[in-house]
Amino acid sequence: MTDQTAHRKLSFRILRYNPQENGSTPRLQRYELEEADGMTLFIALNEIREQQDPSLQFDFVCRAGICGSCGMMINGRPGLACRTLTRNLPPEITLAPLPIFELIGDLSVNTGRWMRDLGERLETWVHMKAGELDLGHIEETMDPDLAEQIYLLDRCIECGCCVAACGTARMREDFVGAVGLSKIARFRLDPRDARTDADYYELIGDDDGVFGCMSLLACHDVCPKNLPLKTQIAFLRRKIAAVGIK
Amino acid sequence: MRIIYTDVLVIGGGLAGLRMAIAARRRGHEAIILSLVPAKRSHSKAAQGGMQASLGNVIKGQGDSEDVHFEDTVRGGDWGADQEVVRMFVNTAPKAVRELAAWGVPWSRVRKGDREVIINGQKVTITERDAAHGLVAQRDFGGTKKWRTCYVADGTGHAMITAIADQAIAASIPVHEHNEALALIHDSGRCYGAVVRDLVSGELTAYVAKATALATGGAGRLYRVTTNAVICEGIGQAIALETGVATLGNMEAVQFHPTGIFPAGILVTEGCRGDGGLLRDADGHRFMPDYEPEKRELASRDVVSRRMEEHIARGKGAKSRFGDHLWLDITLLGEHHIRHNLREVYEICHYFLGVDPVKEWIPVRAAQHYTMGGVRTGPTGESPNLKGLFAAGEAACWDMHGFNRLGGNSVAETVVAGMIVGEFIGDFCDRPENDINIPTAVVHDYLEREQARLSALLTGRGTEDAVALRVAMQEIMTAKVGIFRRGKDLEQAVDELQQLLVRSRDIGVRYRAAGANPELVTAYRTQRMLKLALTVAYGALARSESRGAHYREDFPRRNDAEWLKRTLASWSNESDTLPTLTYEALDVRRMELPPGWRGYGARDHIHHPDTATREKEVEALKAKLASSDRFAVQQALMPYEQLLPPRLRGRNERIDDRS
């Protein structure tokens, strides 16, 4: 079969800035590209780098919407570039790095460091009750529905889209974001974690935590994994507020 | 130039690397992990369908044990595996699942009572036991006799690496992200760490360590169409090869996964077929039972991929603008199952294909998926040639997969090997004679050598284009070193790759920044990837038989008489254009399961002269111990427990043991 459809000319405007390079200043750079069938921003950006501009920086790893590396502002909205098909975009495509995070260069930001800091602050691991495990014995049981509920919150890929879309994060440097709050919601659900709401209050019971959220909830709209952030944040705020009132 | 000292340098932040570092840390040793990307973004994350461990909780797993898992794995690998290592693995896998369960992995759980499942295209009602309610569930996977694959919906790798990476944070293990090892530092047969490049600043640092552990994953990007992440370029194996001392085992053993979405090659899990999905051709015909009446869609991956390509070659592929493909049909599983247990598959189909798998078939074709070969190690994970160099996971060849890996055995291997090798690294670092005693002058020589190489690329007059060389390599590997291999093609491939390697010594870059520079990275990695591609192609050319995923049209039979041996590749001199191949025989006389038919795929093979004798011995031993339990029989056939670290020995409890 031959391809009968004429391909569009795509015009990319990409925010370029390399803080490592002396004299580099932020600017929008234009690239033209012929669209191809099934073209994603992953394919398009690689083509631009290979054929037009070897200095262009961006991050992809799995290119399958699983790893969370490629969050960027796509026509002003945070999203995963790898699974964004160009055919769903107008011919003018503006790409910029996610705000809030430290800029590595061009479209590449340091979400890794931000998420590691968050993990350390909120202690985002199961705080086990017992000491040494006996691995020879049958595992503890868990209700199948509860396991699935935990997994639904565990699906967060730490892409940073919710933070980039967050009004509070713009104003409060240390705000934990929807990613942080949904992680706490996840561990609250998990009976393997020995922590109580009083412990969680110490972690997120302030304006950098659950009380900082202004309920603008763009996080909910942009989450690539459709995590139930809206309900989780509201629920968590009620539970944590209850601790504060006591 | 900086030097950082640590006890354990782990190169690679995926599941195997994280788990090794945690093990070493728990033994009281300092560990630093290097990672190209944030650890949770490693390719381990992309494992979807699950990890094999013979828990036997679900009714279709009843009667499962280490013994059945052992036999499935050895058969799956077409008798290329080290059977002692397989034993170590199958005995540790249940412990790994249970440890992860305690660490917070939200394993999908068994629900007691009736449930409807699809088996061989038919709806069947099965009843789960009350005693199993709430325990970790298992699903069916290819090449297994029992339902053994433990899973978290179809985001198993994601859930596992989230839990393990968070455990590494809890243990305060630093992960130096955006850092790449360029060369291993070694002297007189002893490895001392690595020269490392900061991918953001471009700065070189020497990390000097007692033990160096490679956990850099596979080399899928040697091929044009692969399920692998873009960082799976085989650089860990390549820098081990470049020592000239360490060897790589069985690099010609490359797995092609039957269901990469077409044409992008993104994986959809084997769980689709394990849960009852079917493969169909252009006419909508379910063709696998015609070829493989016993296991149908659930034969091992090498067999299914070959049958699919065979069927396409017969003109039965569906035509598309990008070429021919087949269909994966999961519509019969129903919306509820797909939306709950195959969420990632649903999303991938939705976003990349615009296909709703609840209603429509998924276009698929086999794509490169897994590197069975890797840095050759013994059962402790240490290189037999380069002391202090360890490797685990896909980067390693210790060698539990032989010539074909079973689905669900790799994500299991990452954690199991991490646990086992991590303990041996702990032992290694405990011994005073392994203290760091390398002169800093040697370290500086390495730093200067790597700096000079980078400078040559950045400021030299090279004219070759790295991207063009890489694309040419990927085309050669896909066309000539793929699923079906022929001597003539392989000879051409080896010649052409050698030419590319020579040309790669003259790569030039247009963008000359010393710091963050994607073009520079492509340049130096391409040089290394070409060497690695040659170990694959040259090993495949030399191996004049078919075994597992290595299929030679001109030598279609497995030939145990001549080829029951492991290929070892080394790179003797930097100026060479070919690896040096040697071989390591597998000893049939010590095998618990002597070579035979796999239960699927080709039936005829050429016997090893020792096979008949060993079969008789095994039968006699089993007859003699007929009244003993399975542990005593196993112990008599092939003792292995002494090979495991003490804390990982011991039996695994199952619900059937409780009754």
What is the spatial distance between Cα B598 and Cα B303, in angstroms, rounded to a whole number? 11
B 102-141 residues with CB below 8 A of A? 102-104, 106-111, 133-137
ipTM comes to 0.96
pLDDT value at position B659? Answer: 62
- pLDDT bracket for residue A5 (50, 70, 90): low
Alpha carbon distance B270, B277 (integer Å) = 9
Residue B91 has which token pair? 């005995």
- The parent domain of residue A191 ranges over 123-245
Compute the distance between CA of residue B576 and CA of residue B420 in angstroms, rounded to an integer.
Answer: 36
Q: Report the gap between the CA of A214 and the closest CA in chain B (Å).
A: 28
B605 an active-site residue? no
Question: Domain with A49 in it: what CATH number?
Answer: 3.10.20.30
Q: How far is it, in rounded angstroms, from Cα B489 to Cα B421?
A: 39
pLDDT at residue A2, as a whole number: 43
Last residue of a domain, one of A109, A144, A169: A109
Specify the pLDDT at position A132. Answer: 72
Amino acid symbol at B583: Y
Q: Distances from the Cα of B11 to the Cαs of B21, B370, B416, B520, B527, in angstroms? A: 10, 19, 17, 20, 20
The pLDDT of residue B387 is 98
Residue A96 shares a structural domain with residue A196: no
Q: Kindly state whether residues A99 and A152 are assigned to the same domain.
A: no
Residue B63 backbone class (left: φ over 0; alpha: ψ -120 to 50; beta: rest): left
CA distance A59 to A97: 10
Contact B46 A67 (CB under 8 A): yes
B641 touches chain A (CB under 8 A): no
- Tell me whether residue A116 is in a domain: no
| Residue A210 within any structural domain of the chain | yes
Give domain status of residue A118, yes or no: no
Say whether both A64 and A138 belong to one domain: no
Whether residue A213 is found in the same domain as residue A184: yes
Instruction: Give yes or no: residues A104 and A150 share one domain.
Output: no
Cβ atoms < 10 Å from Cβ of A62: 28
For residue B222, the model assigns a pLDDT of 98
Which of A109, A133, A156 finishes a domain?
A109
CA–CA gap between residue B582 and residue A211 (Å, rounded)? 65
Judgement on whether residues A134 and A99 belong to the same structural domain of the protein: no
Please report the pLDDT score of residue A244 as a whole number: 85
Q: Is A144's CB within 8 Å of B340's CB? A: no
Same domain membership, residue A135 and residue A239: yes
pLDDT at A129: 83
Establish if A117 belongs to a structural domain: no
Same domain, A128 and A241: yes
Residue A4 lies in a domain: no
Q: pLDDT digit string (tens) for A33-71?
A: 999 988 999 999 999 999 999 999 999 999 999 999 999
Shared-domain flag, residues A141 and A80: no
In a domain, A187, yes or no: yes
B186 is catalytic: no
**B424-483 residues touching A, CB cutoff 8 A:** 467
Q: What is the pLDDT of residue B250?
A: 98
Q: What Cα–Cα distance (Å) separates residue A65 from each residue in A79, A95, B155, B241?
A: 10, 18, 12, 33
Is B98 an 8 Å CB contact of chain A? yes
Residue A226 belongs to domain with CATH number: 1.10.1060.10
Question: Do A135 and A44 contact (CB within 8 A), yes or no?
Answer: no
Same domain, A133 and A238: yes
- Please state the pTM of the whole predicted model: 0.97
Q: Could A69 and B519 be called an inter-chain contact, meaning their C-beta atoms sit closer than 8 Å?
A: no
Q: Is the pLDDT of residue A74 over 80?
A: yes
Given B19, B43, B87, B273, the catalytic residue: B273
User: Where among A109, A144, A177 does a domain terminate?
Assistant: A109
Pair (A105, A127) in one structural domain? no
- A151 and A224, same domain (yes or no): yes
Percent of chain A beyond pLDDT 90?
91
> Is residue A1 in some structural domain?
no
Q: Which one of the listed residues B148, B257, B525, B547 is annotated catalytic?
A: B257
pLDDT for res A1: 39
Report if residue A224 sits inside a domain.
yes
Q: What is the structure's pLDDT at A246?
A: 75
Residues lower than pLDDT 50 in chain B: none
Number of domains chain A contains: 2
